[in-house]
């Protein structure tokens, strides 16, 4: 059904974001280690930023039937969900 498909798209996007947030937490924790060198810290920062960018991609991809389900700015046509 349409309602189930809508929820599935939103849930998939949210789960993907949650996975990336866990990876970001791991990178941030590793970067806070005072014993790592600057090159390692810089590498972790680049990884963290790439993960952050992935979240944006997931949000933009959470589209169902022309409506984005995770991007508040892109949801003008989802009033039926409110």
pLDDT for 68 equals 74
For the chain, which residues score pLDDT lower than 50? 75, 78-82
pLDDT for 8 equals 84
- The whole-model pTM stands at 0.73
3-class SS of residue 64: strand
pLDDT for 78 equals 46
pLDDT for 73 equals 65
Contact of 22 with 74, CB cutoff 8 Å = no
Contact of 60 with 70, CB cutoff 8 Å = no
């Amino acid at each position: 059904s349409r309602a189930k498909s809508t929820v599935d798209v939103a849930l998939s996007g949210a789960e993907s974001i949650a996975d990336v947030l866990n990876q970001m937490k791991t990178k941030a924790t590793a970067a806070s280690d005072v014993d790592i060198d600057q090159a390692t810290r810089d590498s972790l920062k680049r990884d963290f930023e790439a993960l952050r960018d992935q979240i944006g991609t997931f949000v933009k991809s959470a589209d169902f039937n022309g409506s984005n389900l995770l991007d508040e700015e892109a949801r003008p046509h989802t009033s039926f969900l409110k």
